[in-house]
């Protein structure tokens, strides 16, 4: 219980620091987010009105406290019939998109989740399988091809691989659709078909790490005493690999998967851009371009939250995978 | 080929030749894609947001917003002609007191998409609504002229006294000063009608009540906007919109390079689509290799004037002789190459401030030289100004998001020939705007910029860039040019009602300003767009350098 509370406190502290840093960084940069709503021509009177309405006329520290307060009590911008209400928990309101930031994140999250889950399944399954096979067939042609492929996967930019994939598979061979996202609820088959290429591209880039990691861990584990003992006792090779060796290999794989999956849920910025997917990564980029501080802050906090949660889940999963790591 | 098609080919060919001269620009869609009524037009947009709230919009009268909303007046733009103000909901306005009071009369039988009649009170409500702080961000040239400095919109129960609606068809604007361009101002987005009493909600843009040929059928944030026919739009009462397709679908957040590939491939629904963004030089180079795609690239004849702004309030650029040296030191030819690879794709060399396609524009060149410039003449002028060894340590500030590095390097290299040493300083977009548009005492000497007027009048070319009132505080006078004589001339020209007379005054102001050399005009920037093979009537007129969305249709 104490561990859980300490862990939770740590998570909240990390998120507070992330929010604070984002605020400070944004205010250190000489910019005025109210310019967005000032209009053209932007007169000093209009700019002052826009600042007042958006709440940017207060000192930055007061804005930060108001933001934190809004999470618990909600916020109201302006007065009268045109007042904008952002109900608690209010993580800000995007004047650019005329939407509560939480709602914006909720709209975009299914896209990013669809992208991340499919890609993660692909890269973990393929990456671990190829890594294990490469380790078991060390120094064969398969091993060399797997290693070479993983080097390309690690070094080739996702942007390049994505565009090449679109060019060859989308336009030249015309085997995959390009540029359209279909929601799972609308048509699951089109959803999956439309995501095949982004999944493969992302899995190629991320899976390369898993091939290298699994291969090296597997080689190390297979030379351990307990593997030799298992073989000496006549345990079938399939059981030795599948039950004894792989379980040890999975610990670092789970760690990496958790953290990478958490980060990816925060937005696969480049992949989403290349494949025109309306996910969180795109939202973040638009927020940066448009001086949309509330969205920027909301997205950053949400990404931070996902990474923090992913770390906690990874820590908890250690206990399941490795009895030595369980809390007594 | 049928005789009709042959005739169309001949006509379109003649039109293109007449409009484009030696540059071989293609101003309109080809005859094979002659549009019919019906079908679904697709627009592939890089942006993730589309704003159909007139108060918040800066949309030109011939693009996206115009599909859904009509305005008090409209634009008629065609290849080879200056843009003209024409009736839309109302006539083009009349004034009896030299431009201070303007009265417009609406057509009979106009209806919103919900079937309710459009009245002058709805136009007034729309204009008043644009004053509410909750609906900022749009074009606001009308605000100062309507005397609304303290007015915060109609939702607080107050009306704007300067707008009168004596009957449902008549609307009168009483301005704070005579203003000849008011009919143009009445074509800006805020003059679209909003049903009186409505539009208080912040997401009005997603379900705005239409007056144009289309209404918003679905608005999926960040993904897609689908427009369907407005059953209450009467094409016979609308001379600026063809309303050809049955549906218009905007696909949002599309990567520009992928859009270019998709439209070049021209398969499936992409045959009925066009890209809303300019094709980049790299994309244009790729498209040249594909004959089909190349034939579907449409390049504007002219466009925004690109210029080097010289900070006239900072030494040594506060000396007019020094500034005049820059007119000869630049290399427009190199700038064209850096912009788009070729002069034909980049745009003609610019020597005036008023852009092509604007009524009253006069072509002149106060500083004649070869396209490559005349560094010796520049050196001589600098020597006369007391700088025989040239200028050192000038700072040229750039906006990172405008991809100006190559262009700035071309300017840097050209200036170096005249012993003008410039250091490039690249800033993020907001930091750049803060430095150039907001700062009281900026540190830059030079900057690169371009300007396309928000409405087709020389006024919109000159006043925002060169009036003293536009220095800092969010204004666009980034050369910080202040000349009381020019301010007075601008005021006089703005108050002139007769367009021909006003045109002459603006042309004279253009020359007067360039005598002081606060900016160096570089090129009239051409824009190129690509469309699918079934998209027709896709043309870019002399002004603005964008396709007229209101006329585009698809062929079956």
Question: Does A143 lie at the interface with B, CB-CB under 8 angstroms?
Answer: no
Find chain A residues with C-beta within 8 A of B48's C-beta: 278, 282-283, 286
Confidence band, pLDDT 50/70/90 cuts, at residue B35: confident
**In this structure, are B188 and B227 located in the same domain?**
no
Give me the DSSP letters along A75-132.
EEES-GGG-EEEPSS---EETTTTEEHHHHHHHHHHHHHHHHHHHHHHHHHHHHHHHH
Q: What's the gap in Å between the CA of B115 and the closest CA on chain A?
A: 25
Tens digits of residue pLDDT in B307-350? 999 999 999 999 999 999 999 999 999 999 998 888 988 999 99
B192 lies in a domain? Answer: yes
Give me the DSSP letters along B23-65.
G----S--GGG--BS-SEEEEE-S-S-----GGG----TTSHH
Of A116-130, A173-187, B21-35, B244-258, the one with minimum mean pLDDT is: B21-35
- Kindly state the percentage of chain B with pLDDT values over 70: 94
> In whole angstroms, what is the distance from residue B492 CA to residue B481 CA?
18
B85 lies in a domain? Answer: yes
**In this structure, are B430 and B548 located in the same domain?**
no
Chain A window 78-107: which residues touch B at a Cβ cutoff of 8 Å?
78, 80-84, 96-99, 104, 107
Name the residue facing A44 among B135, B143, B473 (closest C-beta): B473
Residue A17: burial class (beta carbons within 10 Å; 0-12, 13-18, 19+): exposed
Residue the block writes with tokens 């289309």:
B214
CA B187 to chain centre: 13
Find chain A residues with C-beta within 8 A of B156's C-beta: 80
**In this structure, are B225 and B96 located in the same domain?**
no
Taking each helix axis as running N to C, give the angle between helix B458-466 and helix B499-516, from 0 to 180 degrees, rounded to the nearest 10: 30
* Burial annotation B24-53 (CB, 10 A radius, 16+ → b, else e): ebbbbbbbebbbeeebbbbbbbbbbbbbbb
Query: Strand B214-220 vs strand B224-229: parallel, antiparallel, or unpaired?
Result: antiparallel
Question: Does A37 lie at the interface with B, CB-CB under 8 angstroms?
Answer: yes
Name the residue facing B431 among A31, A163, A178 (closest C-beta): A31
Q: What's the gap in Å between the CA of A276 and the closest CA on chain B?
A: 5
Task: Give the Å distances, CA to CA, from B238 to A39, A43, B107, B119, B246.
Answer: 28, 34, 10, 16, 17
**In this structure, are B295 and B328 located in the same domain?**
no
Of A111-115, B172-176, B282-286, B418-422, the one with minimum mean pLDDT is: B282-286
8-state DSSP, B528: E
- Quick one: tokens of B458? 């020389």
**In this structure, are B408 and B457 located in the same domain?**
yes
**Of the residues B150, B182, B199, the one at which a domain ends:** B199
pLDDT on residue B33: 59
**In this structure, are B501 and B542 located in the same domain?**
no
Say if residue B25's pLDDT is above 50. no
ipTM over 0.85: no
Q: Which domain holds residue B295?
A: 29-54+205-301+529-554
State the CATH number of the domain containing residue B221.
Answer: 3.40.190.10
**In this structure, are B314 and B445 located in the same domain?**
yes
Say if residue B258's pLDDT is above 90. no
State the CATH number of the domain containing residue B398.
Answer: 3.10.105.10
B63 lies in a domain? Answer: no
Name the residue facing A81 among B155, B265, B267 (closest C-beta): B155
- Phi, psi values for residue B102, rounded to 5°: -125, 130
**In this structure, are B46 and B141 located in the same domain?**
no
B11 lies in a domain? Answer: no
pLDDT on residue B355: 92
B15 lies in a domain? Answer: no
**In this structure, are B309 and B294 located in the same domain?**
no
**In this structure, are B521 and B436 located in the same domain?**
yes
pLDDT on residue A328: 55
**In this structure, are B297 and B387 located in the same domain?**
no
Interface contact flag, B476 A289, Cβ < 8 Å: no
pLDDT on residue A34: 81
**Of the residues B153, B181, B199, the one at which a domain ends:** B199
Confidence band, pLDDT 50/70/90 cuts, at residue A31: low
Question: Does A69 lie at the interface with B, CB-CB under 8 angstroms?
Answer: no
Chain A residue at shortest CA distance from B132: A82
Largest CA distance in chain A: 85
Name the residue facing B134 among A38, A82, A283 (closest C-beta): A82
pLDDT on residue A267: 63
Q: How many CB pairs under 8 A join A and B?
A: 154
Element at B102 (helix H, strand E): strand B101-105
Confidence band, pLDDT 50/70/90 cuts, at residue A299: confident
Mutate to test the interface with B, among A33, A42, A274, A299 (most CBs of B within 10 A): A42
pLDDT on residue B411: 96
B508 lies in a domain? Answer: yes
Tens digits of residue pLDDT in B294-312? 999 999 999 999 999 999 9
**In this structure, are B363 and B382 located in the same domain?**
yes
Taking each helix axis as running N to C, give the angle between helix A158-165 and helix A188-222, from 0 to 180 degrees, rounded to the nearest 10: 130
Chain B residue at shortest CA distance from A180: B251
Say if residue A137's pLDDT is above 60. yes
Find chain A residues with C-beta within 8 A of B470's C-beta: 41
Hey, which bits of chain A come out as E strands?
A: 75-77, 84-86, 93-94, 99-100
Chain A residue at shortest CA distance from B400: A289
Of A4-13, A140-149, B513-522, the one with minimum mean pLDDT is: A4-13
Of A38-42, B11-15, B74-78, B97-101, the one with minimum mean pLDDT is: B11-15
Name the residue facing A291 among B140, B262, B430 (closest C-beta): B430
Interface contact flag, B222 A29, Cβ < 8 Å: no
Find chain B residues with C-beta within 8 A of A173's C-beta: none
CA B173 to chain centre: 25
B483 lies in a domain? Answer: yes
pLDDT on residue B438: 78
Name the residue facing A50 among B136, B259, B473 (closest C-beta): B136
Question: Is B434 or A204 the better-scoring residue by pLDDT?
Answer: A204
Interface contact flag, B222 A47, Cβ < 8 Å: no
pLDDT on residue B136: 85
Interface contact flag, B155 A99, Cβ < 8 Å: no
Find chain B residues with C-beta within 8 A of A276's C-beta: 251, 253-255, 258
**Of the residues B166, B181, B199, the one at which a domain ends:** B199
B257 lies in a domain? Answer: yes
Tens digits of residue pLDDT in B380-410? 999 999 999 999 999 999 987 667 888 999 9
Q: What's the gap in Å between the CA of B190 and the closest CA on chain A?
A: 11
Name the residue facing A53 among B134, B221, B253 (closest C-beta): B134
> In whole angstroms, what is the distance from residue A274 CA to residue B253 CA?
10
Domain count within chain B = 3
Chain B residue at shortest CA distance from A277: B253
The pTM score is 0.84
């Amino acid at each position: 219980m104490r561990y859980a509370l300490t862990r939770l406190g740590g998570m909240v502290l990390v998120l507070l620091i992330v929010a604070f840093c984002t605020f400070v960084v944004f205010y250190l940069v000489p910019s005025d987010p109210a310019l967005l709503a000032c209009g053209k021509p932007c007169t000093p009177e209009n700019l002052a009105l826009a600042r007042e309405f958006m709440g940017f006329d207060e000192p930055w520290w007061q804005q930060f406290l108001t933001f934190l307060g809004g999470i618990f009590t909600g916020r109201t911008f302006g007065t009268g019939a045109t007042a904008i209400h952002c109900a608690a928990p209010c993580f800000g309101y995007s004047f650019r998109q005329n939407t509560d930031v939480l709602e914006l994140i909720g709209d975009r999250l299914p896209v990013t989740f669809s992208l991340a889950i499919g890609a993660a399944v692909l890269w973990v399954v393929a990456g671990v399988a190829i890594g294990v096979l490469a380790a078991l067939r060390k120094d064969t042609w398969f091993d060399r091809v797997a290693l070479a492929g993983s080097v390309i996967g690690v070094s080739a930019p996702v942007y390049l691989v994505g565009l090449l994939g679109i060019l060859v598979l989308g336009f030249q061979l015309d085997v995959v659709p390009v540029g359209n996202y279909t929601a799972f609820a609308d048509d699951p088959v089109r959803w999956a078909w439309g995501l095949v290429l982004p999944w493969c591209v992302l899995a190629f880039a991320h899976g390369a790490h898993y091939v290298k990691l699994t291969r090296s861990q597997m080689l190390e584990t297979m030379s351990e005493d307990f593997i030799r003992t298992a073989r000496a006792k006549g345990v079938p090779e399939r059981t030795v690999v599948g039950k004894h060796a792989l379980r040890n290999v999975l610990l670092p794989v789970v760690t990496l998967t958790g953290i990478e999956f958490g980060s990816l849920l925060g937005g696969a910025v480049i992949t989403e851009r290349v494949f025109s997917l309306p996910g969180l990564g795109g939202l973040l980029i638009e927020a940066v371009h448009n001086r949309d501080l509330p969205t920027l802050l909301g997205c950053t906090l949400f990404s931070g939250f996902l990474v923090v949660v992913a770390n906690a889940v990874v820590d908890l999963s250690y206990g399941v995978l490795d009895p030595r790591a369980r809390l007594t | 080929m049928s005789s009709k098609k042959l005739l169309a080919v001949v006509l379109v060919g003649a039109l293109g030749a007449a409009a484009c001269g030696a540059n071989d620009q293609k101003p309109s869609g080809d005859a094979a894609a002659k549009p019919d009524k019906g079908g679904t037009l697709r627009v592939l947009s890089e942006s993730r947001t589309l704003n159909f709230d007139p108060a918040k919009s800066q949309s030109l009268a011939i693009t996206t917003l115009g599909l859904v909303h009509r305005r008090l007046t409209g634009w008629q733009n065609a290849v080879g002609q200056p843009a003209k103000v024409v009736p839309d909901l109302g006539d083009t306005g009349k004034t009896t007191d030299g431009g201070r009071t303007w009265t417009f009369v609406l057509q009979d039988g106009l209806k919103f998409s919900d079937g309710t009649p459009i009245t002058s009170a709805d136009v007034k409500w729309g204009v008043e609504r644009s004053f509410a702080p909750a609906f900022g961000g749009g074009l606001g040239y009308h605000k100062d002229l309507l005397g609304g400095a303290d007015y915060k919109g109609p939702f607080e129960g107050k009306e704007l006294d300067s707008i009168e609606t004596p009957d449902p068809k008549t609307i009168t604007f009483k301005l704070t000063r005579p203003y000849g361009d008011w009919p143009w101002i009445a074509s800006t987005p805020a003059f679209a009608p909003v049903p009186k009493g409505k539009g208080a909600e912040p997401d009005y843009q997603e379900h705005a009540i239409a007056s144009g040929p289309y209404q918003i059928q679905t608005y999926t944030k960040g993904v897609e906007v689908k427009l369907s026919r407005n059953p209450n739009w009467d094409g016979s009462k609308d001379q600026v919109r063809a309303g050809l397709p049955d549906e218009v679908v905007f696909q949002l957040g599309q990567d520009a390079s992928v859009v270019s590939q998709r439209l070049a491939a021209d398969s499936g629904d992409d045959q009925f689509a066009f890209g809303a963004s300019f094709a980049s030089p790299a994309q244009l180079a790729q498209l040249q290799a594909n004959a089909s795609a190349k034939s579907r690239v449409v390049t504007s004849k002219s466009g925004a004037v690109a210029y080097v702004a010289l900070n006239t309030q900072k030494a040594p650029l506060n000396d007019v002789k020094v500034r005049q040296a820059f007119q000869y030191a630049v290399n427009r030819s190199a700038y064209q190459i850096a912009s788009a690879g070729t002069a034909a794709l980049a745009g003609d060399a610019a020597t005036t401030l008023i852009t092509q396609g604007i009524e009253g524009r006069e072509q002149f060149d106060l500083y004649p030289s070869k396209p490559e410039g005349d560094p010796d003449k520049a050196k001589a002028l600098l020597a006369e100004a007391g700088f025989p060894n040239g200028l050192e340590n000038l700072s040229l500030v750039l906006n990172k998001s405008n991809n100006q590095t190559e262009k700035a390097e071309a300017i840097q290299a050209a200036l170096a020939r005249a012993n003008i040493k410039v250091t490039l300083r690249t800033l993020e977009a907001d930091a750049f705007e803060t430095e150039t548009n907001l700062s009281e005492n900026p540190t830059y000497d030079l900057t690169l910029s371009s300007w396309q007027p928000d409405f087709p009048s020389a006024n919109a070319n000159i006043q925002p860039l060169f009036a003293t009132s536009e220095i800092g505080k969010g204004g666009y006078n980034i050369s910080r040019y202040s000349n009381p004589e020019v301010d007075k001339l601008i005021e006089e020209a703005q108050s002139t009602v007769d367009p021909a007379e006003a045109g002459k005054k603006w042309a004279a102001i253009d020359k007067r300003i360039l005598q002081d050399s606060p900016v160096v005009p570089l090129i009239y920037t051409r824009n190129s767009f690509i469309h699918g093979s079934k998209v027709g009537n896709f043309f870019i007129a002399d002004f603005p350098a964008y396709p007229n969305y209101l006329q585009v249709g698809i062929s079956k």
